[in-house]
A = this chain, B = another copy of it.
Amino acid sequence: MTRNVSDSDSVRRQNRGLILSALRSGGPQSRTALAGITGLSHASVTAIMQDLLAQRVVEELTSPERTDGRMRGRPATLVGFQRAAAYVALFEIDVNRLRASLVDYSGVLVDRIETAISPSTFAETQPGDFFGAHLDNLRERTPQAARTLRRIAISVQGILNPDNSGLKWSPIANLAGSSFAHDLARDSGLPVALYKRGRLLAEGTRWLDPGLHQSSVATVFVGSTVAMGLSLHGHITGRSEGGATEFGHMNHMPNGALCRCGMRGCIEAYAADYGILRTSYSVPDTTPPAPAVPAQQFDALIQRAEAGDRDATHGFNLAGRAIGYGLSRMMAMFDPTHILIVGPGARALDLLRPEVEAALSSSLVCRINGLPKILAHPDEREPIFRGLMMKTLSTLDQTDFAALETGSRI
On whether A246 and B333 interact (CB within 8 A), knowing A159-B364, A168-B369, A369-B168, the answer reads yes
The answer, yes or no, to whether A250 is at the interface (CB within 8 Å) is yes
The answer, yes or no, to whether A348 is at the interface (CB within 8 Å) is no
Complex: how many Å from CA A329 to CA B39? 42
User: Among B6, B159, B241, B249, which residue has its beta carbon within 8 angstroms of that of A6?
Assistant: B6
The answer, yes or no, to whether A100 is at the interface (CB within 8 Å) is no
Q: Which residues A271-330 have CB closer than 8 A to chain B?
A: 321, 325-326, 328-330
Q: Measured between C-beta atoms, what is the minimum distance from A67 to chain B in Å? A: 25
Q: Which of A8-16, A24-32, A75-83, A380-388 contacts B (4 or more CB under 8 A)?
A: A8-16
Q: CB distance A368 to B159 under 8 Å?
A: yes
Q: Which residues A151-189 have CB closer than 8 A to chain B?
A: 159, 168-169
The answer, yes or no, to whether A363 is at the interface (CB within 8 Å) is yes
Q: CB distance A335 to B240 under 8 Å?
A: yes
Q: CB distance A365 to B159 under 8 Å?
A: yes
The answer, yes or no, to whether A72 is at the interface (CB within 8 Å) is no
Give the number of copies in the complex.
2
On whether A245 and B332 interact (CB within 8 A), knowing A5-B38, A38-B5, the answer reads yes
Q: CB distance A39 to B4 under 8 Å?
A: yes
- Interface residue count for A (Cβ, 8 Å)? 59
The answer, yes or no, to whether A18 is at the interface (CB within 8 Å) is yes
Q: CB distance B334 to A254 under 8 Å?
A: no
B-side contacts of A40, CB under 8 Å: 5
On whether A246 and B364 interact (CB within 8 A), knowing A39-B5, A335-B239, the answer reads yes
Q: Which of A54-62, A105-113, A200-208, A261-269 contacts B (4 or more CB under 8 A)?
A: A261-269
The answer, yes or no, to whether A251 is at the interface (CB within 8 Å) is yes
The answer, yes or no, to whether A238 is at the interface (CB within 8 Å) is yes
Q: CB distance A261 to B364 under 8 Å?
A: yes
In the complex formed, the residue of B with least CB distance to A361 is B263
B-side contacts of A262, CB under 8 Å: 364, 367
The answer, yes or no, to whether A137 is at the interface (CB within 8 Å) is no
User: Among B38, B246, B247, B328, which residue has its beta carbon within 8 angstroms of that of A251?
Assistant: B328
Q: CB distance B6 to A246 under 8 Å?
A: no
Q: CB distance B332 to A254 under 8 Å?
A: no
Among A4, A247, A332, which residue has the most Cβ atoms of chain B within 10 A?
A332
Among A7, A40, A247, A250, which residue has the most Cβ atoms of chain B within 10 A?
A250
The answer, yes or no, to whether A138 is at the interface (CB within 8 Å) is no
Q: Measured between C-beta atoms, what is the minimum distance from A216 to chain B in Å? A: 9
Q: CB distance A368 to B39 under 8 Å?
A: no
The answer, yes or no, to whether A395 is at the interface (CB within 8 Å) is no
Q: Which residues A328-367 have CB closer than 8 A to chain B?
A: 328-335, 359, 362-365, 367
Q: Measured between C-beta atoms, what is the minimum distance from A148 to chain B in Å? A: 29
Q: Measured between C-beta atoms, what is the minimum distance from A322 to chain B in Å? A: 10
The answer, yes or no, to whether A237 is at the interface (CB within 8 Å) is yes
Complex: how many Å from CA A325 to CA B3? 39
The answer, yes or no, to whether A42 is at the interface (CB within 8 Å) is no
B-side contacts of A359, CB under 8 Å: 251, 254
User: Among B241, B251, B362, which residue has its beta carbon within 8 angstroms of that of A329?
Assistant: B251
Q: CB distance A246 to B3 under 8 Å?
A: no
Complex: how many Å from CA A133 to CA B250? 47
The answer, yes or no, to whether A49 is at the interface (CB within 8 Å) is no
User: Among B6, B15, B169, B240, which residue has its beta carbon within 8 angstroms of that of A15?
Assistant: B6
28 sample A-B contacts, Cβ–Cβ < 8 Å, listed by A number: A4-B14, A4-B39, A5-B15, A7-B11, A168-B368, A169-B364, A232-B241, A233-B241, A237-B237, A239-B332, A239-B334, A239-B335, A246-B333, A246-B364, A246-B365, A249-B332, A249-B363, A251-B328, A251-B329, A251-B363, A254-B325, A262-B364, A262-B367, A263-B367, A265-B362, A266-B364, A326-B329, A330-B333
Contacts A159-B369, A262-B364 supplied; 8 other A-B pairs, CB < 8 Å: A4-B18, A230-B333, A246-B331, A246-B364, A247-B332, A250-B333, A254-B362, A330-B333
